[in-house]
Chain A
């Protein structure tokens, strides 16, 4: 329910850049957009991916916030690094590696593997749409091309495809837009 009183649009501005907001404050930005719909809003380093994971938890907004609002936000510049560790059946037994998901609008999504030399990255895949979190990890891990015990590899992957609730294709119909993943 939206009633008058708390959110403060600045109608004289041409552009908003939102910083620092937590997951609990995202509904305020939705209300701002509804109050001033023609004014662009840049969600700047708000870690929306992390906040999606909190939706539906006690004291946090519901998951519907993603379907009706967050799904409409287009990632125009995305540089997200992730660190992983893989267990091996042979020395060194643990292999640390990292990758980066990189996107600049209007281009697609590049999956980059850190080669471990002077911060250089190698592009291992390029996708039109945003890969799911588990999919990105799979791409990067396969690019390592580590020959290891197949049983361990299957145990690592698990028997089921693991996707976050907002990445499930069966729920894409609930989204107001596919902007967040295209």
Chain B
């Protein structure tokens, strides 16, 4: 393992966040903004969307984790839209079926000003090019042929 030459650097002075709000409102946004300023285009943000006890609980489900992630992503998005030039942020979900679930859940696809929720891909039935595509779209989400308009 590489020696910890960075251990005393100011780059490691940032403490663990004390709460999830700090994750999104402060550290995650600042880290992403710094990376964007350096020219990076593909960024990853990862932190527990729920408290550890909730994540481990049988009562939590993919839907509850997804809903938490949507709320947290909206929080981060708001920081970008509040920048001086008023960015427009699109939160992407996998497909229109998921989009419908979200709209049913939160009642809107515009959770904040200049923040919209959209689907990455069209509905399976709308985009199927043949019967095989339609059947595969029902039973599997594996993209054997990804297309764009």
Interface residue ranges, A against B (CB under 8 Å): 1-10, 12-22, 24-25, 27-33, 35, 37-49, 59-61, 72-81, 100, 102, 104-108, 110, 112, 121, 123, 125-129, 131, 135, 138-139, 179-180
Contacts and interface: CB of A to CB of B under 8 A. Distances in A.
B91 interface: yes
B91 to A, nearest CB: 5
Given A12-B88, A35-B148, A139-B1, A112 B16 contact: yes
Interface string B84-96: 0001111111110
Contacts, number: 256
Contacts of B7: 123, 125-126
Given A7-B121, A112-B16, A79 B23 contact: yes
B130 to A, nearest CB: 12
A14 B104 CA distance: 26
30 contacts: A2-B148, A5-B129, A5-B148, A7-B146, A8-B119, A15-B88, A20-B66, A21-B92, A21-B120, A24-B141, A25-B120, A27-B146, A29-B92, A35-B148, A40-B40, A41-B42, A42-B44, A44-B69, A45-B69, A45-B72, A74-B40, A76-B28, A76-B31, A76-B40, A76-B43, A76-B45, A78-B47, A107-B6, A126-B7, A127-B1
B94 A48 contact: no
Given A43-B45, A76-B43, A22 B121 contact: no
A79 B89 contact: no
A69 to B, nearest CB: 8
B58 interface: no
A14 B89 contact: yes
B98 interface: yes
Nearest to A80: B46
Nearest to A41: B42
A17 B77 contact: yes
Given A8-B118, A128-B6, A75 B44 contact: yes
A40 B43 contact: yes
A74 B46 contact: no
Nearest to A108: B6
B4 A40 contact: no
